[in-house]
Chain A
Amino acid sequence: MSVDRADGTAAAPQATAAAPAGATEDKSGSLGRNVRRKEDRRLITGHGRYVTDIELPRMRHVAFLRSPYGHARITGVDVTAARDAGYRVFTGQDFSHVVLRAQSALPSYVETDQPVLAHEKVCFSGEPVAAVVAKDRYRAEDGLEFVDIDYEALPATVCAWQEPEVPVHPEAPDNVLLQRTFDAGSVTDAFTAADLIVERELVTNRHAGNPMECRAGVALWDAADGKLTFYNGTQVPHIVRNMIAELMGVPEGKVRVVAPDVGGGFGVKAVLYPEDVALCLMAREMPGIPLKWVEDRAEHLLAAAHARDHRYLIKAGFASDGTLLALEADVTCNVGAYSVYPWTAGIEPLMAGGLLSGPYKLDNYRCTVRGVATNTAPAGPYRGVARPASVFAMEAMFDDAAARLGIDAIEIRRRNVITPEDIPYKMPSRLVDDSGHYGECLDKALDALDYPAFRTEQARRREAGDNPIGIGVALYNELTGLGRAASAGPRMPFRTGHDACTVRINPDGRVTVISGITSQGQGSETMIAQIVSDAIGVGYDDVDVRIGDTDEALWGFGAFSSRQAVIGGGAAHNTAVAVKEKLVKLAAELIEAAEADLRVVDGEVYVVGEPKAQISVAELARVAYLESNRLPDGIDPGLDATTFFDPIRGAFAAGAQAAAVEVDRTTGELRILKYVCVEDAGRAMHPQIVDGQIAGAIAQGLGGALYEHLVYDDAGNLSTGTLLDYLMPTSAEVPDMVIGHVSHPAANPIGVRGVGEGGTLGPNAVLAGALRDALGIDVNTLPISPASVWKELHP
């Protein structure tokens, strides 16, 4: 795969943040340039520090015994053979006093308990029931064979839109854990007035984030201090600390969570899992002995969070000119066996209902969403949460209506999309769109695709009887960087709108930033260093960023909802500005100049109009820490600050994707001829990182559209338990892409809009639209495979 930028500059050149010496104006910023990533040296040369790399004295390894049944009562547990063989064994009874109970204040929500290790019954195949501790992982797995669990099988339910024979949780006899109806205007009246009603049943495929590094943890209980240290490959170390402390009844100050380098997350690692809690509880039982668990791929496919197993019964009413008049939907999300902790079973259904109408104007909307438990692995957050499915459903309405009304598929979208004049636009779910730049993204995308040329080629092929080609498009609005007002959706007992940041100018004038953000490979350290070096006026190379350790950073909710550039970045900027204020005040006093006349550039302080630097940041820092004899009255020692930032609302990122595909009529194979994406990142802080995020997200979106499918049989066994059966796209399957940008800064300190997830939103809809365009067939289920296309062609 290679990425072309739509402006024709191909891969943007690498630049370093060297500042022009003697400049009095700040022309040397690192933001907006492809500075060398802080992470590159260690990650590219094999010096990354992942949980797997942690080796501690006396360390022991843990393996989990997992349920072979989708649904069964546990009738007997016998660990004598394992103990006789010398293994330390833990079972559900050992930790039956601890349960994970994801909470939400939504009226219909049914709270359920997730055990740390199952003891009464197992609710999905792969659920942990016991754990064995041994000298190494091989022996730990040997030990599992000595543990005897008796099961009495129960009928399993794997489909969320089928009546359960035996419910997963007795508290929810119909398996429905949450249901909510969004209602605006009057759909009934609008359907009566409509000239056309289109109606579809769409089913999307269960799949998962599958980061390259699976889950991992090392837990150590220090008996002397009564303190737990938990190295965890997580996206959310502070949330983990908060929850572990509460679940274990330990003061929060006595829990340290460290997320070192993390090899991908995609939402899968934004969940606190029973295995994590078990590891910490076991460590407390074995003081002084670090316990390590590194998940393998088979476990990951079985038991880490799944996603995107939805059904949409959807109906849209249109006027004859293509105006969307009403939208009605019934959305069922298969949330798996447990309400995922702490996000709840609401995470996917509420996102689906809240954003179904996407970037389109709509007055009359009724949508009932529900999260339904089944005997499958719990569903949780996955990059784009529900939106790849909901965009697929929404865009299907337009493609369908366009064909029936004889309107061009592009034109019908233009007639309905939210425009800059409509901003702020209150969506029928009452979210407020602050963007409106969808039309511009679409125009640029069609330009980059060379839309007319493909239409010409399409006509030629139709004439010649060659393999057909089709063009598909999708528009979307991705809600990013949600502040307290926007993050209130699932009504959980916390609001994820803010992050903290500490900026410290050290005695040598260099800067250390301790940020509450986390990184799973996105280049977050680079971003924070760029923001802080620009805000203060020091060199990018003079800023170090430390993240991931709850004993260092004050607070950060972590990586999800495309929030860190907006919120963590905002916090870094504001904090750096606060430190700079003190720096400038100190400088003004020392060199006897007016604060307003001072400029800080590349670590030197200039007075406007004078070519020579007057004093360096290093000297100011020395005064601040070491030479209090030179400190002016009223200025305290030290040069640091810690502040929080919350954008209150969110920033919508507009996006458009388009592709031309070719279909082989005999085999049903689909070949992507060209794939284009244009997004609004607001201000692109590091263009290469932005493009990388978009390209990676599209690759995952294509995986979901064409390959990835977690399939259960009726008894609740996972049929796709290894990467032999669970197909992920490799570089050979991901086409070259053209990525373009529009740039409309958002109303936050650095003007950014999140770009982490948007790319995943388009591919389902784009490819389904392209197939319809090529062959006139409806895509009602995903993934699209040669077999599914062939079946449509040979009914």
Chain B
Amino acid sequence: MKCAPFDYVCANSVEEVVKVLGEADGDGKILAGGQSLVPVLALRMARPSVLVDVNRVPGMGRIRPVEGAVEVGALVRHSQLVEQTHHPLLAEAARWIGHTAIRTRGTTGGSIAHADPSAELPVVAVGVGASATVAGPTGERTVAADELFVSALVTSLDDDEMIVGVRFPLPTRWGFAEFSRRHGDFALVTAVVAEVDGRVRITLGGVAAVPQRALAAEQVLADEGTAHDAARAAAAEIDPTADLHGSAPFRRAIAGEMVRRALVRAGIE
């Protein structure tokens, strides 16, 4: 469990990161908090030729409230998200990530880029309709969260692109519920309820390869249905797979229950 050899570059600017990644020709990797990347390296499941350490790149460690949203720099640690008060949903979600040591190192950009289907921040990102600011060789572009997540651990980012920040709209009402085997584990199911621009969005993590909107359940609410009915619709519209921690019907049932709880917490009965 020791990583294969690699070159190491400690970058001082976004331009340098993008340049080194470009020169690596698809064989480079950004190192942020290292909480997902290092285990993968240690298991030799990834063997990049060069690691670009972004931890010294200035200007990406801040949280900035703006009109109707909060802008989170790529290097903002999960523990900072827990402590901030501008975006209560983000704070609540970040509390559920791993343990103290992981939250102290792990970053927002890293979590979004890693695109783990059971991770909390991607679900929140899709849940509130966040967008990422992405830097590449030709400058910056903005990518909506639901276009960012392609599949499990796969994003639409190019090999020489870097997330520099994420803009999370502020929901007017929200609820969060998660089910995991142990305190601090990746979620079996996460449910995020967020009212954005007058529409209640319901998003589930852990039930598919990417965070999944429960559109049928949202429609139930739009049609004045109850939380209970919406939860049932959510459970019905997803297609979870079985794993060591439970059968598909079990995950479906848990997903329904988490939706119900998140709705109740959002004040929607």
Interface residues of A (CB under 8 A from B): 137-138, 141-142, 296-299, 666-668, 707, 709, 711, 719-720, 722, 724-725, 727, 729-730, 732-733, 785-787, 790-791, 794
Contact = CB atoms under 8 A, between A and B. Distances in A.
Interface stretch (B55-63, B64-72, B132-140, B248-256): B248-256
Nearest to B179: A667
Contacts of A142: 4-5
Contacts of A725: 244
B245 A787 contact: yes
B185 A727 contact: yes
Given A142-B4, A298-B43, A787-B245, A733 B182 contact: yes
B3 interface: yes
A719 to B, nearest CB: 7
Contacts of B179: 667, 786
Contacts of B44: 141
Contacts, number: 64
Nearest to B256: A666
A297 B1 contact: yes
Given A709-B244, A790-B246, 13 more contacts: A137-B2, A141-B4, A142-B4, A298-B43, A666-B253, A666-B257, A719-B244, A724-B186, A730-B182, A732-B183, A785-B246, A786-B250, A794-B249
Contact of A785 (B1, B3, B181, B249): B181
B254 A730 contact: no
B87 to A, nearest CB: 26
A787 B3 contact: no
Contact of B183 (A299, A722, A733): A733
A141 B3 CA distance: 8
B182 A720 contact: no
Contact of B1 (A296, A668, A709, A719): A296
B247 interface: yes
A137 B253 CA distance: 46
A787 B247 contact: yes
B267 interface: no
A73 to B, nearest CB: 26
B227 to A, nearest CB: 13
B225 interface: no
A298 B244 CA distance: 18
B26 interface: no
Contacts of B39: 722
A298 B1 contact: yes
A504 to B, nearest CB: 44
A791 B183 contact: no
B55 to A, nearest CB: 22
Interface string B117-157: 00000000000000000000000000000000000000000
B184 A730 contact: yes
A88 to B, nearest CB: 18
Contact of A732 (B5, B182, B247, B250): B182
B118 to A, nearest CB: 11
Most chain B beta carbons < 10 A, residue from A296, A299, A667, A711? A667
Nearest to A140: B2
Contact of A667 (B183, B185, B247, B254): B254
Interface of B: 1-5, 39, 43-44, 179, 181-186, 244-247, 249-250, 253-254, 257
14 contacts: A141-B4, A142-B4, A142-B5, A296-B1, A298-B43, A299-B1, A667-B254, A668-B250, A707-B181, A719-B244, A730-B182, A730-B183, A733-B183, A786-B246
Given A298-B43, A667-B254, A727 B182 contact: yes
A787 B182 contact: no
A732 B100 CA distance: 13
A790 B250 contact: yes
A794 B248 CA distance: 13
Contacts of B244: 709, 711, 719-720, 725
A439 to B, nearest CB: 36
Nearest to B1: A296
Contacts of A137: 2
In the complex, the 9 A-B pairs of residues with the closest C-beta atoms, listed nearest first: A787-B246, A732-B183, A296-B1, A138-B2, A787-B250, A141-B2, A666-B257, A298-B1, A790-B250
Nearest to B245: A787
B250 A791 contact: yes
Contacts of A730: 182-184
Contacts of A720: 244
B183 to A, nearest CB: 4
Nearest to B254: A667
A707 B186 CA distance: 15
Given A719-B244, A720-B244, A138 B3 contact: yes
B8 to A, nearest CB: 14
B191 to A, nearest CB: 13
A667 B257 contact: yes
Contact of A729 (B2, B5, B182, B186): B182
Nearest to B181: A727
A733 B185 CA distance: 12
A491 B250 CA distance: 48
Contacts of B253: 666-667, 790, 794
A299 B2 CA distance: 12
A733 B182 CA distance: 7
A298 B42 CA distance: 11
Nearest to B44: A141
Contacts of B43: 298, 722
